[in-house]
Amino acid sequence: MKKISLLGSTGSIGCSALEVIRRNPTKFQIVSLAAGRNIDLLKKQIEEFHPVMVSVLEQECAAALKKKLSPSSGIEILYGCEGCCRVASVEDADMVISAIVGAAGLLPTLAAIDAGKDIALANKETLVMAGKLVTEKAKYRGVTIFPVDSEHSAIFQCLAGQNSKTVRRVLLTASGGPFYRFSSKQLESVKPGDALKHPNWVMGNKITIDSATMMNKGLEIIEAHWLFNMDIERIHVYIHPQSIVHSMVEYIDGSVIAQLGIPDMKIPIAYALSFPERLDCPELSLDLFRVGKLEFFPPDVNRFPCLSLACEAVRQGGTMPVVLNASNEVAVEAFLAKRLPFTRISELVDRAMSSHQCMTSPEIEDILEADGWARKETEKLLKSMGH
C-alpha cells in the first residue's frame, strides 16, 4: 500500500488524482491533503479519504473547516505555507503529489524532497523557478521525481530508462490552444471566456490561459530541460491539434517513439503513482479510427511570443526563469480580471524580463526574492501601461 500526501487536492489534477486513488483502494492510501480556499470540497474529501492532517490557505479557512468537521474526526488542521510544508513532509507518506498551481507549489515540493518523499510532479512552476536546485536536491536525497504533466510523462515513457546520450531530440507536442489559427489582429480582441475554452483538456484557469498564449509550452520546455537533462536546442515544439500524441523521442538511429492516449490526466497520474507497474483503467481507451487523423505543424513564435520568452529565460538562466514565471502569473491574473488585453500578456513578461538584473546560481532565498521583485515590477509596468 503506497501512502500518499496530495497537495492541491481541490484542483483539477487533485480531483483526478483522487479518482485514481478511489478506484484503487488496495494500492493507495491518502495520509494528508493540502488545498487553498475550497473548504466545502475539502470537507467531502476528508470524509471520504480520512487523512490524518490537512492544510488550507489561511487561518480563517482553517477555522471555518474546523467548524464544519465533527469534533471526533481527530484530524490536524494547519494553514499557510508552513502548514502545507508539514503536509508535504508528513512522516507516514511515501509519495507526494505536487499539484498546487503556480509559485506557491515550490516550497512544499522542496519540503517533501527534504523529507525524502518521492514526488509525482504536476506543478511545473517548481522546475521553472528552481530546476537546478530541485533536481540536485532530489539526487542528493535519493528522491525520484515522476512527471505528471502529460508531455513529460510521455517523454518519460518513450525514454523507458534509456541513456539521454542516445536521444537525438525530443518532440514536445502542443495543442496550440483555442487560437492557434487566429491572426495577430484577431488575437488582440480575445476575451477570458474564449481563452478558457481549451479545445481538448479540462484544466484549472491558470494553465488554460497559459495554453492559449503558449506560455504553457514555454514552461514545459524548461520543465523538460531539467527533468531529462536536455539542452533546449534538442527540445522541438510541434503543434498537434488533436492532443493524442502526448510527445515523442527521436533516437540517434532515426527511430521515433511516441506515447499516445486520450487527453485524460488520469493516465499520466496513474503511471506516476504506480511506476513501474501499470494500473488497469478499462475506461481509458483510445479509438484511433474515431480520431481519424493526427496532424503536426510548426509553431509561430511571432503570434505566440511566450515560447521565445521562455527559451530566452533558460538561455540567460539564474533568476530569469523565476521572473518569467512570476510576471506571467501576474499578467494572467490581470487578463482574467479583464485589466489586460490578451496580446499584452507576453509584452508585460518581456518588459519585466528586460528590466531584471539576472543573478546566476541563485539559492532559494534569491529565488523567492526574484519572485517577489518580479510581481511588484509587473504590477508597476501594468499601471504604467495604463491598466
Ligand X SMILES: NC(=O)C1=CN([C@@H]2O[C@H](COP(=O)(O)OP(=O)(O)OC[C@H]3O[C@@H](n4cnc5c(N)ncnc54)[C@H](OP(=O)(O)O)[C@@H]3O)[C@@H](O)[C@H]2O)C=CC1
Residues contributing to the site for Mn ion (CB under 5 A) = 149-151
Stretch that binds ligand DXP, among 30-38, 127-135, 173-181, 297-305 (CB under 6 A): 173-181
Binding-site residue set: 10-13, 36-38, 123-125, 149-151, 175, 198, 204, 211, 216-217, 220
Residue 86 or 246 with smaller CB distance to ligand DXP: 246
> Residue numbers of the site for ligand X (CB under 6 A)?
8-14, 34-38, 57, 84, 99-101, 104, 122-125, 149, 201, 203-204, 206-207, 265
Q: Which of 89, 123, 157, 175 touches ligand DXP (CB under 6 A)?
A: 175
Closest distance of CB 88 from ligand X, Å: 10
Binding-site residue set for NADPH: 10-13, 36-38, 123, 125, 204
Asked if 177 interacts with ligand DXP (CB under 6 A), we say yes
Residue 178 or 362 with smaller CB distance to Mn ion: 178
Cα–Cα distance measured from residue 212 to residue 331, given in angstroms and rounded to the nearest whole number: 13
Cα–Cα distance measured from residue 3 to residue 27, given in angstroms and rounded to the nearest whole number: 9
Binding-site residue set for Mn(2+): 149, 151, 220
Q: Cis (ω within 30 of 0) for the bond into 276?
A: yes
Q: Nearest CA to 198 among 218, 214, 219?
A: 214
Cell numbers given for 138: 532530489
Q: Which of 10, 45, 109, 216 touches ligand DXP (CB under 6 A)?
A: 216
Cα–Cα distance measured from residue 243 to residue 200, given in angstroms and rounded to the nearest whole number: 7
DSSP one-letter code for 118: E
Closest distance of CB 372 from ligand X, Å: 15
Residue 151 or 250 with smaller CB distance to ligand DXP: 151
Asked if 178 interacts with ligand DXP (CB under 6 A), we say no
Binding-site residue set for 1-deoxy-D-xylulose 5-phosphate: 124, 150-151, 175, 198, 211, 216-217, 220
Residue 169 burial class via C-beta count within 10 angstroms: exposed 0-12, middle 13-18, buried 19 and up: middle
Residue 108 or 362 with smaller CB distance to ligand X: 108
Asked if 201 interacts with ligand DXP (CB under 6 A), we say yes
Give the chain's count of helices (H) and strands (E): 17, 11
Residue 327 burial class via C-beta count within 10 angstroms: exposed 0-12, middle 13-18, buried 19 and up: buried
Asked if 174 interacts with ligand DXP (CB under 6 A), we say yes
Sites for ligand DXP among residues 131-150 (CB under 6 A)? 149-150
Q: Nearest CA to 362 among 331, 322, 333, 304?
A: 322
Residue 149 or 350 with smaller CB distance to ligand X: 149
Closest distance of CB 153 from ligand DXP, Å: 8
Asked if 217 interacts with ligand DXP (CB under 6 A), we say yes
Is-contact 258 245, C-beta < 8 A?
Answer: yes
Closest distance of CB 265 from ligand DXP, Å: 6
Residue 23 or 37 with smaller CB distance to ligand X: 37
Cα–Cα distance measured from residue 276 to residue 160, given in angstroms and rounded to the nearest whole number: 10
Asked if 14 interacts with ligand DXP (CB under 6 A), we say no
| DSSP codes joined into one string, 225-292 | HHHTT--GGGEEEEE-TT--EEEEEEETTS-EEEEE--S-THHHHHHHHHTTS----TT----HHHH-
- Sign of torsion over alpha carbons 68, 70, 73, 78: positive
Residue 323 binding result from ligand X, Mn ion, ligand DXP, none, given CB thresholds of 5 to 8 Å by partner type: none
Residues 6+ apart with CB under 8 A from 326: 103, 352, 370, 371, 372, 374, 375, 378
Question: Site residues (CB under 6 A) for ligand DXP?
Answer: 149-151, 174-175, 177, 201, 207, 211, 216-217, 265
